[in-house]
Chains A and B, each alone.
Chain A
Amino acid sequence: MDYELIVIGGGPAGMAAALEASKNGVKQILILERAETLGGILVQCIHTGFGLHYFGEELSGPEYAGRFVVQVEENPDITVKPDTMVLDIVPGEGSHTVIAVNKADGLLELSCKAVVLAMGCRERPRGALNIAGSRPSGILSAGTAQKYVNLDGYMPGKEVVILGSGDIGLIMARRMTLEGAKVKMCCELMPYSSGLTRNIVQCLDDFGIPLKLSCTVIGVHGRERLEGVTIANVDENRRPIPGTEEYVPCDLLLLSVGLIPENELSRAAGVSMDRVTNGPVVGQDRETDIPGIFACGNVLHVHDLVDFVTLESQQAGKGAAAYIQKGTPAERTFIPTKGVNGVRYVVPQKVDKSAVEPVKLYFRVGEVHKNAQVRVRCGETELVKKRRPRLAPGEMEDLIVKPEQLASLPPNAVLTVEIVK
């Protein structure tokens, strides 16, 4: 066995999982990172707002990542291979093989007891949107623009329209404005934003950038370089309303229209996937349906706060440590979880009945609700109920179920998470 644990991805999820596994006694841990440095996407997130929940202070992305990078580098149990791309995960009985490639080692074929999937997510590109019009340069996903501006020091445009109100788009509205660009508007197809409220306030409102809800880009103009876009309002079926078209001159269209977990490796390895989250199906220790393969962070489901990525990944690291030391428990009963009545998904998708610690159920709602209640029930039995002044698709929610509640559930139980009006 080359390593006890191989962690794929050295962003916040991978680092937290590796550190937690080490804390729980795992000795030979390898992190494979495709970028030149650890930290993942946080490296280019030079704005603040990270760490409020986990550290109780407001940090920038590099600062937040840095606190973990230092621990990883000082930890004798953890080896890091940067600039390394994993090509394949081959699951086996009691041992898995990870095939990776880099300049220094060439092709690597590494065996390990357990794997943590922490590959993060990617942005949805233009092609997936099918916006009509020409194919000029000047159309970028917001994260790509963020890399050019924050890491490379170059501006991808001067007059900007942002399509989609995801958090990266909102952050880039402010960033481009501070760099002297004119951000004309942010158009959101839905009647609500998918971004965090605090980002709408701090990145749009504070700079007088209009957020146009129920509005989308229906046309792109310009042969070589983008010259403008046509926007239009949409009806309740998200179809453009004739007569509302407006031409907006711009040389940059930034897309912030959703994030997709990067699960090509997981799928190829045969891990079962959740169709709503686009991530693996896991239990509360974040183990997938392949014993010894765990998943955490944005590869599992897209988070809006890195603090929760860290917490979730610690669970995965702890779960991997337990698996490495004790293997899979002989007897385990899983209770499936399910989101209904406005709850789109629940992670974990199943909960071990014999859990010894409280289980946090993360979930997202499909629409904005004001002054609503959320609850977990099993059949007609209510386990937890909480009041929420506001529920929004952009903000992840959670409810906690206690071990004694799980233990008392009948066979064939289902944990249902829902909104109560």
Chain B
Amino acid sequence: MSEQKKYDVAVIGAGVVGALIARELSRSHIRIVWLERCNDVAQGTTKANSAIVHAGFDAKPHSVKARMNVDGNRLMGQVCEELHVPFHRNGSLVVAFTEEEVGTLKSLIARGQENGVPDLRLLSKEELHAMEPNLNADAPAALYAPTGGIVSPYELCIAAAENAVTNGAELRRNYEVKTIDTTEEGFLLSNGAEQIAASLVINAAGVYADKVARMIGDETFTIKPRRGEYLLLDMSMGGVVDKTIFQCPSPMGKGVLITPTVHGNVLIGPSAEDIEDKEDLDTTDAGLRSIQTAVKKSVPGFAIRDVITSFTGLRAHDDKDDFIIGASEANPRFVNVAGIESPGLTAAPAIAKYVARLVSAILDDPPKKADWNPIRPEPLRLREMTPAQRKALIAQNAAYGRIICRCETVSEGEILDAIHAPAGARDIDGVKRRTRAGMGRCQGGFCGTKVLEILSRELGLDPTQVTKFGGESRVLVGKTK
């Protein structure tokens, strides 16, 4: 064991929940260490989910989920504005396919109203089909929630991380917490090589939150990952729907959704399957087929082609069926933020505020920073600029004139920005999520080699050490003969 550093708070987990908590804590004079086992932030559930900002009519009234959902929805606009994250309140629809299901919609509206969701209403068949002409013509009605929205979850996480680090949080990637010892001053965390002391721990470890809680003897909950598979379709399929389309929940299941994404693609999914293995991110032929079949119920004429990619996400489902947010029964200075499954993304800004208040109370109200900066500067995006803006930018820095990713029009300057940002990209997927290089039709076929070269140059790594997403995910195994 080498050196040992001391902090007020250790946040475990750099998903969207951990990121927004770290950011919220950075408002105060608190020494924050933020630990992530992967090579980058946003590596768990955050990178693979429905990317939906839920209105809040789903959760049971008076549950933590319901409150955090509705509060989070309300906060999302401001957070995304401060962090310059793409967010669009496109509204959502829950579509009934039988007269019987219209009854279910009515009870959802009542539930939503009880939860405090504004402006919910039942659309008639005519209103529905005028709003979404591609929907199943037989659908008799739908619930319309104008406050529903779509957001880019990993960009929200990355932006919050950047902002947290800018405001003083110390992010440690590739630090997997293996043991936590309770000490007089608080806790001693270790990854097996280096110890970190913190007087308070926040457990935002996603599907591993139960494992982390066990380290201090908290056995009050268990996380069972629920696998969801998705298909992401090309922008050429965009426009098939404008709103996020849910299917009315039935005894047969929750159905699948079809939604535009903030980037103009179309997302369909998820399947739902409870599994044991917390690393099992495989897509399955059966799962992908099932969502393709199920989505036709909503949009019968939908010919699914131009699939860009398919992916699997794990929802951190807990056995309590509600978010678990609060001090552990085993130790009042150990705060669990666990079981954050859907609508966790929506709830994240509210969870962060709530947790920050808890922490503040435990640490006896540390003073606020006078110079706390809520703004994460907007990343420069060549593809979104007018010709005049492009001209000015390239004149200022020629690196923005060299296009690396041709499908998404991403310049070398943008990639350099992504690498050198606070909590910047360290691998090919990190560059992809920050800049969209490699996210287009060719999926990095052309730009992958160039991105690898830039990462190698900028991070001082041998090309064989550059990875797709950390660990052993190296792209090149050695030199040619």
Contacts and interface: CB of A to CB of B under 8 A. Distances in A.
B301 interface: no
B281 A106 contact: no
Given A152-B449, A153-B479, A122 B474 contact: no
B445 A103 contact: no
B402 A102 contact: yes
Interface stretch (B56-64, B83-91, B464-472): B464-472
B110 interface: no
Nearest to A126: B443
B268 to A, nearest CB: 12
Interface in B428-474: 441-446, 448-449, 453, 463-464, 467-474
Contacts of A179: 480-481
Kindly state the interface size class of chain B when it binds its partner: 35 or more
A103 B401 contact: yes
A128 to B, nearest CB: 6
Contacts of B308: 127-128
A132 B282 contact: yes
Given A154-B476, A154-B479, A224-B471, A125 B442 contact: yes
Interface stretch (B131-139, B140-148, B251-259, B386-394): B386-394
A73 interface: no
A132 B395 contact: no
Interface of A: 34, 83, 85, 87, 99, 101-107, 109, 122-123, 125-128, 130, 132-138, 140-141, 143-144, 147-149, 152-158, 179-180, 218-219, 223-225, 240, 251, 260, 262, 264
B478 A155 contact: yes
A219 B448 CA distance: 23
A138 B472 CA distance: 10
A256 to B, nearest CB: 12
Given A158-B477, A224-B473, A251-B477, A123 B442 contact: yes
A133 B399 CA distance: 38
A126 B468 CA distance: 15
B413 to A, nearest CB: 10
B281 A135 contact: yes
B401 A137 contact: no
Contacts of A260: 441
A87 B399 CA distance: 16
* Chain A CB within 10 A, most for which of B282, B310, B480: B480
Contact of B475 (A122, A128, A137): A137
A134 B445 contact: no
A137 B475 CA distance: 6
Interface string B409-442: 1010000000000000000000000000000011
B468 A137 contact: yes
Given A122-B442, A122-B445, A128-B307, A101 B390 contact: yes
Nearest to B481: A179
Contacts of A83: 402
B284 A132 contact: yes
A154 B282 CA distance: 29
B221 interface: no
B276 interface: no
Contacts of A122: 441-442, 445-446
Given A101-B390, A130-B310, A225 B473 contact: yes
A127 B394 contact: no
5 contacts: A107-B391, A126-B309, A132-B288, A154-B478, A223-B471
A102 B401 contact: yes
A127 B307 contact: yes
A46 B479 CA distance: 17
Contacts of B472: 224-225
B175 to A, nearest CB: 17
Contacts of B449: 144, 147-148, 152
A87 B448 contact: no
Interface string B302-330: 00001111110000000000000000000
